[in-house]
Every structure is written in C-alpha cells, then in structure tokens.
C-alpha cells in the first residue's frame, strides 16, 4: 500500500466582507484619482457605479440617449449618479421634478444649469412648449464655448413627468436625436419602467435597477459615521443592535441614519453615568432594545423630514421636540386604496354588502319597480 502523504496546513484566508468589492471604477478616459474618490464616496454601490461609468464612456464620446434608474427610496440612485458626474467633472443639470410645477420651469432650470442663467435670460422669457425648449437648446449649444463633452440631464422623481404634457416624457427620451447634440437624459424613479411606457409607444431607455441594501451593507455604511467621543468598536456594536430591531420593518438608509443618531445618546447613558468603561460591554446592549422598540412606532408610518435631520445635526433649531401639527404622513399605496374603498363603501346600505362583496350571493330579486318597467 502507498503511504498517504498529508499536505501541509494552509494559512487561513482573511475575512472578506461580502459587500466590499475590489476596485471596479477603471476607465482610461478619466484620471485614476477622480475614479478612486468617486468609488470611496459610493460604498456598496460599486457595481452600479461601474455600470454607469461604462455607459458614460469618455467625455467627448456619444453616450446612450436616455437611461432609466429605478429602485426603492434611499437605495443610492441620486447619490451614485451625482457623485460620478461631480467627481469626474462632467457637465450636467440635476433637477427635481417635485420643484417644477410646470414644464416651463423645468426647461428653465435645465437650460440654466447647463448654459448659465445669464445666457438663458437673454433668450425667451418662458418656454411654453417642448419645441421651444429644443430650439433654445440648439441655439445655446451652438454659442457655447465649452468643450463638446456629453451633457447630462438628471431628472429626479421622473414619475411626475407623466402628469405634465403628453409629449414631455417621449421628448426627453429622444432629446439627443431632436437637438442633434451630445446629450444624455437620466431618469430617476421609484417605480418600474412599465408604469411609464405610454400607449402610443416611445423610445425605450436603458434600464438599470438599484436593489435594496442588505443588512451587511447597511452595517458597513452606518458604521462609517461614528461619534468622535466614542470608539468605532462601540458604535459598530450599537449599529448591529439597531439593525436587529429595525431591519425587518425599515431598510431606508436615511431613516436608519436618523434613528441611529437619535438613539445613540440613550445607548451611551451607562458610560456617561460611569457604569462602564469605553469598551464594548453587554450591559449597554441589554437596556436599550426597549427604547429602540419605542422608536419603531414612529418609523413605520412617518418619514423623516429634512428639517428634523438638520435640527439633529445642529444646523437648525427646533423650538418644540414633538411632532409638528402639519407633519405630512405618507401612507403606502395599498393603504390608500383601502381607505378609498372604505370611504366609498360607507355610502352603500348595509343590506347591499352581501350582494356587492360576494361572488355567489344568489339570484338578485327583482323589485316591484323593475317589474313595473319591464311590463
């Protein structure tokens, strides 16, 4: 028999975080320093940033006419797109459709961001139609002394375009063809493209999905904002406890970041009272879940406003710590339909519930009024 030879033991591999990926932003048309700065600013979104960079190409090359980025709230759509455009110093116009109550205001903001508000003010005062917008865009582009690089138009909350003129959304999707210039339109939305497609058809954009952050990715991102008064190890343990309470009901990064900053002083009360040292201890994690569960009731239905975030950071002073009387409560889509259905059903007589809400409710008896009119 041949004696078995045992192989020497191998050194254990270093642990690798599943959400940290090797450097992916590599492109010969951009400096390596800018690419590295852009990659460090978009943690756990390296794959989406690399896909966008590949679609952008070099600054002077023609890009895809229109891109459609969709995903749930706070999944990094706006942050990744604007970070790439800023770090790579690409000419762009970022407009939120919420702020534009008319098409003319939307056109004015786009042209002002791309060519300067002084040049736009010398043109037409208001742009009432999309054809006027295309004509003014061509005039300003021809007079511009900037390099002929790709211009990017980023439209956030693009689903609101469906409520404007019928030719607005199809026109933006074909803007590169209409203006005969190197321009790309990027639409950002929380709903899928199938909800946008008009019945008459339109140019199909290139669709890119931004998935929700996983628990490990949220742990990594939130742990990058530690308190300067405490160790990163303590803050990482606190984030792990926070996600254990909130992750099943809330994956909104902005809301989780707000809740983390809001509840961290309560978490550190034992240290401030001198009941422990600066290291991580189990005594800290035992007394805080009830406080986190109490905050859970506010995160289910309420969205964090920008004013509350600024007041937490010290940029804005709020006189009352309670909720404002005019706080906007946004319900989920299905809850709105249930409320509308309950309101409509409240006007129906109680004796008609069986007839309206059951499939096999039996034969409907004819009233004397119907019998009289049938004769």
Q: Do 237 and 166 fall within a single domain? A: no
Q: Is residue 321 part of a domain?
A: no
pLDDT in tens, 210-239: 999 999 999 999 999 877 778 888 888 889
Q: Do 302 and 186 fall within a single domain? A: no
Q: What is the pTM of this model?
A: 0.71
Where in the sequence is the domain holding 252, given as residue range(s)? 215-313
What is the dihedral sign for C-alpha 250, 256, 260, 263?
negative
Q: Do 147 and 275 fall within a single domain? A: no
Q: Is residue 362 part of a domain?
A: no
Interior/surface letters 137-169, b for 16+ CB within 10 angstroms, e for the rest: beebbeebeeeeebbbbbbbbbbbbeebeeebb
Is the pLDDT at 322 greater than 50? The verdict is no
In the listed set 157, 188, 209, which residue is the last one of a domain according to the structure? Answer: 209
Number of domain units in the chain: 2
Q: Do 64 and 199 fall within a single domain? A: yes
pLDDT in tens, 243-258: 988 888 888 899 899 8
Q: Is residue 4 part of a domain?
A: no
Q: Do 40 and 133 fall within a single domain? A: yes
Q: Do 45 and 175 fall within a single domain? A: yes
Q: Do 56 and 201 fall within a single domain? A: yes
Q: Compute the distance between CA of residue 140 and CA of residue 181 in angstroms, rounded to an integer.
A: 11
Q: Is residue 283 part of a domain?
A: yes
Q: Compute the distance between CA of residue 321 and CA of residue 319 in angstroms, rounded to an integer.
A: 7
Q: Is residue 284 part of a domain?
A: yes
Q: Do 142 and 44 fall within a single domain? A: yes
Q: Do 46 and 143 fall within a single domain? A: yes
Longest C-alpha distance within the chain, in Å? 106
What is the pLDDT confidence band of residue 126, given thresholds at 50, 70 and 90?
low
Q: Do 135 and 263 fall within a single domain? A: no
Q: Do 54 and 173 fall within a single domain? A: yes
CATH number, domain containing residue 62: 3.40.50.300
pLDDT in tens, 307-317: 444 444 444 34
Q: Do 169 and 293 fall within a single domain? A: no
Q: How far is CA 110 from the centre of its chain?
A: 21
Which pLDDT value is given to residue 158?
Answer: 95
């Amino acid at each position: 028999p041949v004696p078995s030879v045992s192989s020497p033991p191998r050194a254990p591999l270093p642990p690798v975080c599943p959400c940290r990926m090797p450097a992916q932003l590599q492109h010969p048309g951009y400096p390596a320093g800018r690419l590295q700065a852009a990659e460090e600013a978009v943690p756990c979104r390296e794959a989406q940033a690399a896909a966008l960079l590949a679609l952008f190409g070099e600054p002077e090359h023609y890009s895809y006419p229109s891109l459609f980025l969709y995903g749930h709230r706070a999944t990094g759509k706006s942050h990744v797109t604007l970070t790439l455009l800023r770090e790579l110093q690409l000419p762009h116009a970022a407009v939120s459709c919420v702020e534009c109550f008319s098409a003319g205001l939307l056109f004015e903001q786009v042209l002002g961001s791309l060519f300067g508000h002084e040049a736009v003010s010398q043109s037409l005062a208001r742009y009432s139609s999309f054809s006027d917008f295309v004509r003014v865009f061509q005039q300003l582009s021809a007079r511009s002394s900037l390099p002929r690089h790709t211009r990017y138009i980023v439209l956030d909350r693009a689903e609101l375009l469906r409520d404007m003129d019928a030719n607005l959304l199809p026109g933006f999707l074909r803007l590169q063809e209409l203006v005969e210039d190197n321009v790309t339109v990027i639409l950002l939305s929380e709903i899928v493209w199938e909800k946008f497609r008009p019945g008459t058809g339109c140019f199909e954009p290139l669709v890119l999905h931004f998935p929700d952050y996983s628990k490990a990715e949220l742990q990594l991102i939130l742990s990058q904002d530690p308190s300067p008064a405490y160790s990163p190890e303590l803050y990482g343990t606190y984030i792990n406890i926070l996600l254990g309470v909130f992750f099943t009901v809330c994956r909104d990064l902005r809301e989780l970041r707000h809740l983390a900053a809001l509840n961290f002083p309560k978490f550190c009360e034992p240290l401030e009272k001198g009941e422990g040292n600066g290291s991580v201890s189990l005594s800290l994690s035992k007394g805080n879940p009830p406080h986190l569960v109490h905050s859970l009731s506010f995160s289910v239905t309420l969205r964090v406003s920008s004013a509350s975030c600024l007041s937490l950071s010290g940029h804005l002073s709020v006189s009352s710590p309670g909720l404002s009387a005019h706080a906007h409560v946004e319900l989920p889509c299905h809850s709105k339909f249930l409320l509308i259905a309950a309101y409509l059903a409240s006007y129906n007589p109680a004796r008609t519930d069986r007839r309206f809400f059951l499939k096999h409710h039996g034969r409907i008896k004819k009233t004397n009024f119907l019998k009289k009119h049938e004769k």
